Copies of this chain bind each other. A is one copy, B any other.
Amino acid sequence: MLERITSAKNPTVKGLRALNQRKGRVSQGRFLVEGEVLIREALGCGLTIREALAGDAHAAFAEELAARGARAFTVPGELLATVCDTVTPQGVCASFDLPAPLPLNDTPALIVALDGVQDPGNLGTIWRTADAAGFGALLLGAGCADPLSPKVQRAAMGSGFRVPFMLADDLPQALSALRARGYRVVVSDLRGEDFYRRPDPGERFILVIGNEARGISEATRAQADMRLKLPMRGGAESLNAAVAAGILMYGLTEHL
């Protein structure tokens, strides 16, 4: 039988609630995962669980989490809603240790880099697509949404636990270092060449996606081996960033 928390001021509840903010995640070294499906994905990917809160309908699942090492509690639904970021709380949430970012010198053949992708839904959706298309890592430059925010992880649907991420405060410099190690840099750019007449990017490359409104920065563009643009055949001037990223990722790996 799990202990029950009923006060919104309980320190465990307050600690978990703080994980909705980047500051809380950094200071505690943990992040929040919502819902049974995502929590199972995180456990399956080897992440370390710390604390869990469950509504009564998920008490049995919370017992299971306790057996796997979590400090687990049941709580009233209203209290859970004050912790979870979702509009419709998923009945259970848990904190996990922050995954360590991948070091920049240990990188897979195919990487997606984001140059200031700000929308959490776009970032998470790109993460999910990168996983599906077979990319091995995400490289996040300055100005991106926080990869460990609940909104990003929800859109990533578990791919955020499977595909590691790397952080680069100076993305152009990181791209330059990767080029020196044999990567080609392929940039999505509305001022670029026709994607369907592209040269072969080879076996090791980085696809760079720009900010939703401003696109690629000048300093990032300067590191491009090729700048490519999807044809705009009708009246639309551009695509949603996550859709463009998906078309480019699958297009570039079609031969795999």
Binding site for B on A (CB under 8 A): 125, 128-135, 155, 157-159, 162-163, 196, 230-236, 238-240, 242-244, 246-247, 250-251, 253-254, 256
User: What are the 6 closest A-B residue pairs judged by CB atoms, nearest first?
Assistant: A134-B233, A243-B246, A131-B234, A132-B236, A131-B236, A162-B235
- Chain B residue with the shortest CB-CB distance to A232: B132
Min CB gap A246→B, angstroms: 4
- Chain B residue with the shortest CB-CB distance to A126: B243
A158 to B235, CA, bound (A): 9
Answer whether A234 and B196 are a contact pair too, CB < 8 Å, given A125-B243, A240-B125, A246-B246: no
Whether the pair B132, A239 counts as a contact (CB closer than 8 A) is yes
Whether the pair B233, A256 counts as a contact (CB closer than 8 A) is yes
Min CB gap A56→B, angstroms: 25
Whether the pair A196, B132 counts as a contact (CB closer than 8 A) is no
Whether the pair A234, B125 counts as a contact (CB closer than 8 A) is no
Answer whether A239 and B196 are a contact pair too, CB < 8 Å, given A234-B162, A246-B247: no
A243 to B240, CA, bound (A): 9
Among A133, A196, A234, find the residue whose CB has the most chain B CB atoms closer than 10 A. A234
Min CB gap A235→B, angstroms: 4
Min CB gap A208→B, angstroms: 18
With contacts A129-B243, A242-B243, A247-B251 known, what are 8 further pairs, Cβ within 8 A? A125-B243, A128-B236, A128-B239, A134-B234, A162-B236, A196-B254, A233-B256, A239-B246
